[in-house]
């Protein structure tokens, strides 16, 4: 039975946010990936279009989430469903770090506005 302890999680940092990866093929997951996202105060991630569905559940804090052209204020306990093909932006306008739990299917990629394709290691 694969059990990933916090001390065994892998941490990645990009665009000012931290991604603490727990479930990936490397840790024994076959279909799904899961990670904790830490979005510091004042951070705004670049808009990116995902090629797979992604589910973000906010554990602590508050975020402004934009899906395509619609922006919503999301608070602890809220869940955002990001459909494949949606353009997604996350911003933390507060003065404290927001913490999320995110899941998606193995192999997710994200395309930035400039055409750059990211293959995030926490989702592959």
Domain that holds residue 112: 9-123
Quote the radius of gyration of the chain (alpha carbons, Å). Answer: 14
Q: What are phi and psi of 103, to 5 degrees?
A: -130, 150
Give the pLDDT mean for 20-43.
Answer: 96
The answer to the question of residue 63 being in a domain is yes
Q: Could you read off the pLDDT of 79-107 as tens digits, one per residue?
A: 999 999 999 999 999 999 999 999 999 99
Alpha carbon distance 56, 90 (integer Å): 11
Per the structure, how many domains does the chain have? 1
The answer to the question of residue 117 being in a domain is yes
The answer to the question of residue 112 being in a domain is yes
pLDDT at 1: 66
The answer to the question of residue 46 being in a domain is yes
Give the pLDDT mean for 36-52.
Answer: 96
The answer to the question of residue 2 being in a domain is no
Alpha carbon distance 20, 4 (integer Å): 12
The answer to the question of residue 4 being in a domain is no
What is the domain-level CATH number for residue 34? 2.60.120.10
- Over 90: is that where the pLDDT of 36 sits? yes
- Over 90: is that where the pLDDT of 2 sits? no
């Amino acid at each position: 039975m694969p059990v990933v302890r916090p001390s065994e999680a892998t941490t990645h940092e990009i665009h000012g946010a931290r991604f603490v990866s727990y479930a990936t093929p490397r840790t024994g997951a076959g279909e799904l990936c899961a990670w904790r996202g830490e979005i510091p105060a004042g951070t705004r991630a670049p808009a990116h279009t995902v090629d797979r569905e992604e589910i973000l559940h906010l554990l602590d804090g508050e975020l402004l989430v934009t899906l395509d052209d619609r922006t919503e204020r999301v608070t602890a306990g809220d869940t955002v469903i990001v459909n494949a093909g949606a353009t997604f932006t996350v911003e933390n306008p507060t003065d404290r770090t927001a913490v999320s739990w995110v899941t998606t299917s193995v192999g997710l990629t994200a395309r930035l506005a400039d055409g750059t394709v990211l293959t995030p290691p926490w989702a592959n």
